[in-house]
Amino acid sequence: MQISKKVVLHFPENLVEKPITYELVKHYDIVVNILKAKIAIDGGEGLLLLELTGTEDKLNKSLKYLKGLGIKTEPLTRDIIWSKECCVMCGICASICPSHAFYIKTPEMKVKFESEKCIACEECFKVCPYNAIRLKLV
């Protein structure tokens, strides 16, 4: 049975040019969806936010492989909290949301939020003028 996990990879500068996602696909039969990437060109740590899909056994083996390379892996544990009570339905969040987790439902023209689509890019709470969106760190 196929399952999906959202994980954050923190990797050292010496691995920036290594084909990490290729290895996951080829050797572990993992479907890799890159949700967010920050590659440190001038030194420092790189970051990948990935959605990995595969069997539980293959996911576990692939995560073990990444740890063996020196890549710190952690589950995505940040959630976006939307306060409907504070929201004025301006739609700014929907206009900036790359995954369409925030969207405008028509014909009502109301903002809706589907947390399972959220990739925790953090753009929505940066633009909300009413502080109706916040980041929950677990």
**Is residue 40 classed as helix, strand or coil in its secondary structure?**
coil
Report residue 130 as tokens. 């009413």
Confidence of residue 78 (pLDDT cuts 50, 70, 90): low
Domains of the chain plus CATH, in order, are 2-75 (3.30.70.260), 78-137 (3.30.70.20)
Give dist(CA 108, CA 104) in Å, integer: 8
pLDDT of residue 30: 96
Could you read off the pLDDT of 87-123 as tens digits, one per residue? 999 999 999 998 899 999 999 999 999 887 887 788 8
pLDDT of residue 28: 95
Give the DSSP H/E element, type plus range, for residue 127. helix 123-127
Q: What is the 3-state secondary structure (H, E, C) of 46-108?
A: EEEEEEEEEEHHHHHHHHHHHHHCCCEEEECCEEEEECCCCCCCCCHHHHHCCCCCEEEECCC
pLDDT of residue 46: 78
Could you read off the pLDDT of 3-51 as tens digits, one per residue? 988 888 888 878 877 888 899 999 999 999 988 887 766 666 778 888 9
Residue 1 has pLDDT above 70, yes or no: yes
* pTM tops 0.85, yes or no: no
Residue 52's beta-bridge partner residues? 5, 32
